[in-house]
Structure 1
Amino acid sequence: MNDFFKFYSGSLSGTIIVIILFLFIRFLLRKQSNYIKIMLWVILLIRLLFPVSIYTEYGILYSETFVEKNENLSAQEMKSDNSLQIFPKDENTSKPYMGKKKNINILMILWYIGLLVFAVYYIIQRIAVCRRTKNAKKISSQDEIYEWKESMACVIGLVKPKIFLPFDLSPEQRQIVLQHEKTHIKRKDYLLMMLYYIALALNWYNPLCWLIYFGVNKDIEMACDEQTLQNTSMEERKFYARTLLRLCDKGRLKYVSAMRPFICERSTLKMRIKNIGKEYSCQKTIYIVVASGLLLVVLFGSFLYKKIGLNNVDSKELARLASYKSTLNFDDTMPKIGYVGKEQLVVYDNMGVYVYDLSSSDLTDYVDFEKNHFKGLQGDDATFIHVSKDGRYIQLSDNEKQLQYDLKTKQQKNQLDKKESWNPKTEPMGVETAEYYSVSDVYYIGEGETCFLAINKNVTPNYGALLCVVSNVGAEKEYSLFD
């Protein structure tokens, strides 16, 4: 559920930029055929439904995570946010003080509540429409055409759309309204609006998506008018306009995206009537050029985000990694400390190297062995890990290749500089405190401090319980790594 939420919320900035570009193109095409405008909205729909982002070094945006870092976070959210929480000792007990219970991610819950509201609204509208169509009378033996008591004409349904007409239309009015509704069915407008309803539900927090949704509805109606009135005389267009005015004057049934109404809101009626008198040229060259340009804009939107760190690791990937690791049991190779200082901790295991910023309590980077074509820590092709004395450079090597990664500049190169490796003193004794199982050696890091990886004896020994314990005379701090 969290990954689904992040897929849409994490691309908000990129989606806004793409929508603004589409609105600008829509403004430039305002005097062109309405067919082109519909093509514009169809291509934009791809971005709204599938906001895929490809991270590169040339990106200009950083992905939003929408995870709150405050007292309202739950333990599960801690996993998603990769926070290294420092649990101080309770003065009255020998056990760590775990703090207050946390609440769940409010933003994610609000997003799912929004989805639920859209789903419930759609179901309620469908029930209301079905009740009103219950007494409708079928007037065609070949087509799904019905008359009802409502004073509007519309298309209802997704799989087998049906046309509903007011019972009091004249033969001439019925003919032209029926032609309009059949055009909607032929163009699959009801499916387009349904997909836009789903896109709006997924992006309801984005105000531009609401603007787009109602703009699409208006352009669909005008495009349908344009196609219905092709090759018609001026008198027929005037009659069409009078029919629009007549139906708009009467009461109106509220509708959602499963219905395509002949009439529209009063605010757009003037626009539609002005559109009736226009003649548009349809040149295939223009369609090809515009479609190519729009696809380039969508593609551009997919490359807006900046690559962060090695292996394209960003905050979302780190969140997924921490959540995944927290559920794993230890494998044959226990995690080891590669470097520890006052503000930084480097830990590695059989899968990769993890970098923690102890001052901000965050998992900040990750070097994946598999993505960089390295094996694990055992066997003939074992990977060797070295961290420079200042903790800035991580060096990986095996029998065939080598890699050096600069934690400060986030750059990598396939050769090793001569760096003095971190080589701490190892305490000969084990962990004396009765609270922990020691997972690593006890390292002396200066000023009377020692550190080691451990787990509390009262919890299940897995990655979710892994701690870095920094112990000094009369003081002790615990850094929860993956929980």
Structure 2
Amino acid sequence: MSELFLSVLNMSFTASYVILCVMFLRLLLKKAPKFISYALWAVVAFRLIIPFSFESMFSLLPRNMNTVPISHEIIYQQSPKIDSGIEAMDFLANQSLPKPDVAASVNLLQIYIEIGAYIWVWGIIALLIYSLVSVLKLKRQLKNAELIDMNIFEARNLKTPFVLGIIKPKIYLPAGLDDSERKYILLHEQTHIKRKDYIIKILAFLILAIHWFNPFVWIAFRLMSKDMELSCDERVLKEMDLDIKKPYANSLLSLATERHILNGSPLAFGEGNVKDRIKNVLNYKKPTFWLIAVALVVAIAAGIGLLANPVTQKPVENNLLSQLLKNKTQYVGDNSKVGGIIFSLKFPDNVDYDSFELYTDSEPYGVNVNLKTDTETKNIYSVEANQQQFQTNALIMFSLIGNVENINFTLDDGASPHSIQYTREWANKRCGKDVRDFAKSEEELGKLINGTYGIAKNEDIKELIEENISVIMSSPDISSNPQDYINAHREVYENILKYGEEALEYLLSQFEEGNDEGLRGYIMMRLCKELLGPRNNVTDDSLSPREWYNSLSIRQERKLPNYEYDGNDPIEKLVYNTEIEMNSDPKGEGFVVVAPKIFGSYEEKNLLKVFATTYSARYRLFEDTLSEESGSIVPVAITYRKNDSGNYVLEKYEQARDGAGFAPSIKEFCTMPVSGKEIKGLANQILEHYSDYKDIRILMHDNLAKHLKKNGLTSAKLIKSYGDEFEFSVL
């Protein structure tokens, strides 16, 4: 039911935009015949009940608008988000989504969606029951109605005419109408029946019941009903002499002071909006041919534009991103994937790829990319524009090749070879974080390729920090709260944090020199606290910057090895060893603990494939404070090859993709290792477990406690990766 509810939410979101467009078109077509405005609501109905449409370059939906803003896999995403393409709306919606907690046994968003789905169903039931009860009550009131002709009835307890019924609709009139009033009202009601408006009203109400939670749909239902009545009045005036405008308006006026007998029922609808109808009747003029023609052209063009989805145009960069991520590998020795990455790189004009060499005999592992040129190229590496291109290429390779430490580009122009080398340490500093984090999604990798990843330039770091602090202190000058200054310049503040230890060293030196007066001191203290993290031993937030610095005694890190599996199961041992290796920090920072849930292992010929969901976390220990640096819970498929010695070596490592590709990617890798045959029911088993992984949360706690006890620690204050703190007992 959750998936159905998400489908309805997506249709409702897209339809809301279409409703706003139709409301604007109604104003634009104010002088046009009302049947045109009435017909436009069919486009809204289509968007509210049909979850798909054709694509067209003439679509009026925003080009960046996603017609499926809420992914059906959102409950499985580690970082759930809504992607409508409308940035402001996405930002507000995503801010309200629950933050991911890898240690939680159940995804909160899944609970909210499930509860929302039940509330949605009960809302539909309530509206339908209300409507049915209203009709039954009305029928009881009409049991004494008198048949006066064909399907026309007259009742003394009625104050307004209406149509009731589906298969054989009946017209009910108030008693006491004079002949002229009856004539006009009957003609109006019969026009409703000829146009099948009573069927349209029922369908519209059912759609409203499905989307009852959307206020735009209620507005659309009301405006559609109004356009139905106005267009019906115009049809009557068109079929009869225009001289009837005044008597027709008088017949409406005679009913204007009476209340409707029934509100909200689709099976019986009276004549509402009397004031607007009278004004429309009195102002009605037979439209000219050209007015109708222009209005029809506008309405048809707009209708097609609102029916159509924008053409899915994946930019070249996205195709490149997909190709690059397809070749992501943990091992520099993977010739085909490393080659696929290099083939996708862009090089400066007149420079082409020639060949590559892999250095895997001993650490540090490296890649050399040989380039060629048809023209005389001198000092190509000294040109800033070209430098930037090669730097970007190096960063892309570092982000996608798990254990490469050195990347070298060599160009022989026929005169003398030019060469430049990049290291992973350089890449991490340039990005302000582990460069491999950019290969976790197309969005992050796209930032890397497009140069929007916040890489620092080559200016002196001290000068940059001082410039950024000056910017932060510049406004708002009326506030006395340091946090207001930081909030006003959040991006500049984050830029300082990107310099990591170099920034911390400089800021602490400023405290040492006494340059911590006033606002500057408070900003420096906030920066130092964030950069120090769990190394900060001062917990009193009421201290001034100078008092904080005088109390500071930086906690020293205690190095612990990675967790070691001590069981006897050979499959578990393989998985533990692989996950530890995959999640270890390349710089050796911290230690890794993993907790896998193994769903099964399948062997064909010399290949073994193991399926698991692994909770992995990397910790650092600062005296008695344990800091969770990163954590994730991800379904994986690990393929091993049995070598000549009978040992299993890693052949392939597959992780579930993030976002909309989560569930499909699991179904893709739940296959036999050689034949590729689908393993029935395995994907559903993994997905079902992912919605409640309490077992591996408990296992992670036990493994961490066991590891700390083994290394002589009995208790610690644990700081989670999302900032929460609590006491962690080993015993």
Partner of 2:260: 252
Find the counterpart in structure 1 of residue 597 from structure 2: 455
Structure number with greater Rg is: 2
Cα distance in 2 for partners of 1:312, 1:137 equals: 74
Contact 1:15 1:51 in 2 (8 A): no
What does 1:240-279 correspond to in 2, within 5 Å? 240-259=248-267, 261=269, 263-275=271-283, 277-279=284-286
- The number of residues matched between the two structures is 367
> Which of 58, 61, 65 is equivalent to 1:61?
65
Q: In 1, distance between residues paired with 2:135 and 2:446?
A: 56
One of 440, 446, 460 as aligned partner of 1:409: 446
Aligned partners of 2:245 and 2:281 also within 8 Å? no
Instruction: Note the aligned Cα RMSD (angstroms).
Output: 4.8
Contact persistence 1:60–1:305 (CA under 8 A): no
**Which residue of structure 1 lines up, in the alignment, with residue 25 of structure 2?**
25
Post-superposition shift, 1:29?
A: 0.9
Q: 1:264 to 1:288 in 2, by over 3 A?
A: closer
Q: Which moved more, 1:193-202 or 1:437-446?
A: 437-446
Deviations, residues 311-355 of structure 1 (Å, cap 9, x unaligned) = 999xxxxxxxxxxxxxxxxxxxxxxxx8679xxxxxxxxxxxxxx
Structure 2: distance between partners of 1:212 and 1:29: 16
- Residue matched to 1:317: none
**What is the aligned counterpart of 2:214 among 206, 213, 217?**
206
Residue in structure 2 matched with residue 350 of structure 1 by the alignment: none
TM-score, length-scaled by structure 2: 0.42
**1:86 alignment partner in structure 2:** 102
Amino acid at match of 1:65: I
- For 1:406 and 1:393, locate their aligned partners in 2 and report how far apart those are by CA, in whole Å: 15
Q: 2:190 matched to 1:178?
A: no
Q: For residue 467 of structure 1, what is the aligned residue in structure 2?
A: 614
Residues 1:178 and 1:390: Cα distance change in structure 2 (over 3 Å): same
Asked whether the equivalents of residues 86 and 478 of structure 1 are also in contact (C-alpha less than 8 Å), the reply is yes
Structure 1 stretch displaced more, 212-221 or 260-269: 260-269
Against the structure 1 CA distance between its residues 393 and 32, is the aligned structure 2 distance closer, same or farther, given a 3 Å change threshold? farther
Alignment partners' CA distance in 1, 2:568 and 2:220: 63
The share of aligned pairs that are identical, in percent, is 23
Residues 247-396 of structure 1 aligned to structure 2 (within 5 Å): 247-259=255-267, 261=269, 263-275=271-283, 277-281=284-288, 285-286=293-294, 288-300=296-308, 302-303=309-310, 390-392=398-400
Q: Larger relative contact order (C-alpha < 8 A, sep ≥ 6)?
A: 1
Letter in 2 for 1:135: N
* 1:31 Cα deviation from its structure 2 partner: 0.4
* Counterpart contact for 2:36–2:296, Cα < 8 Å: no
Asked if the contact 1:77–1:104 (Cα under 8 Å) also holds between the matched residues in 2, the reply is: no
SS of match in other structure, 1:155: strand
Q: 1: distance between equivalents of 2:174 and 2:102?
A: 69
Letter in 2 for 1:133: L
The whole-number CA distance in structure 2 between the counterparts of 1:47 and 1:230 is 32
Match of 2:38 in 1: 38
- Native 8 Å contact 1:151 1:251 kept in 2: yes
Asked if the contact 1:19–1:208 (Cα under 8 Å) also holds between the matched residues in 2, the reply is yes
- Which residue is equivalent to 2:152? 145
CA contact (8 A) 1:450 1:470 kept: yes
- Please state whether the residue corresponding to 1:27 is helix, strand or coil: helix
Instruction: From the superposition, tell whether residues 100 and 256 of structure 1 become closer, same or farther in structure 2 (CA, over 3 Å).
Output: closer
- Find the aligned partners of 2:107 and 2:302 in 1 and give their Cα distance: 51
Note closer, same or farther for the CA distance 1:411–1:472 as it changes in structure 2 (3 Å cut). Answer: closer
Letter paired with 1:61? M
Distance 1:312 1:194 in 2: 48
Q: Which residue of 2 aligns with 1:130?
A: 139
Counterpart code for 1:240: Y
Match of 1:432 among 558, 566, 580: 566
Change (3 A) 1:162 1:17: same
Change (3 A) 1:410 1:134: farther
Q: Normalization by structure 1: what TM-score?
A: 0.61
Look up the match of 1:196. 204
Deviation at 1:198, TM superposition (A): 2.5
1:50 alignment counterpart: 50
Greater Cα offset, 18-27 or 260-269: 260-269
Q: Which amino acid aligns with 2:575?
A: S
- Uncovered stretches (5+) of structure 1, i.e. residues with no partner: 70-75, 88-96, 314-337, 342-387, 395-403, 413-428, 458-462
CA distances 1:2-55 after superposition (whole Å, capped 9, x unpaired): 222222323555333322222222111110111212222223322232253779
Return 434-443 or 160-169, whichever deviates more: 434-443
Higher fraction of helix: 2
Cα deviation 1:336-392 (Å, max 9, x = unaligned): xx8679xxxxxxxxxxxxxxxxxxxxxxxxxxxxxxxxxxxxxxxxxxxxxx97453
What is the rounded CA distance, in whole Å, between the counterparts of 2:160 and 2:576 in structure 1? 79
Looking at structure 1, the residues matched to 154 and 280 of structure 2 have their Cα atoms a distance apart, in angstroms, of 25
Equivalent residue letter for 1:47:
R
Match of 1:479 in 2: 633
Shift of 1:185: 0.5
Q: 1:67 to 1:4 in 2, by over 3 A?
A: closer
SS at match of 2:70: coil
Whether the 8 Å CA contact 1:147–1:164 is kept in 2: the answer is yes
Distance 1:170 1:406, change over 3 A: closer
Do 1:55 and 1:312's aligned partners in 2 also have CA atoms closer than 8 Å? no
- SS where residue 264 of structure 1 aligns? coil
Q: Determine which of 232, 237, 250 is the counterpart of 2:245.
A: 237
Residue aligned with 1:280, SS: coil
* Range 32-41 or range 469-478, more displaced: 469-478
TM superposition shift of 1:295: 2.8
Q: Is the 8 A contact 1:158 1:191 kept in 2?
A: yes
Counterparts of 1:100 and 1:220, CA distance in 2: 46
Do 1:18 and 1:297's aligned partners in 2 also have CA atoms closer than 8 Å?
Answer: no
In the TM superposition, residue 236 of structure 1 has moved relative to its aligned partner by 2.8
CA apart distance, 1:122: 1.8
Query: What is the CA-CA distance between 1:175 and the residue it aligns to?
Result: 2.4
Measured after TM superposition, the shift of residue 154 of structure 1 is 0.9
Out of 96, 104, 120, which is 1:111 matched to?
120
Given that residues 29 and 37 in structure 1 are in contact (C-alpha distance below 8 angstroms), is that contact kept between their aligned partners in structure 2?
Answer: yes
Which runs of 5 or more structure 2 residues have no equivalent in the other structure? 82-98, 323-327, 332-395, 403-438, 450-562, 600-609, 636-686, 691-731
Alignment of 1:222 with 2:230, yes or no, is yes
**Partner Cα distance (2:56, 2:566) in 1:** 48
Counterpart of 2:365 in structure 1 is: none
Give the counterpart letter for 1:409 in structure 2.
G
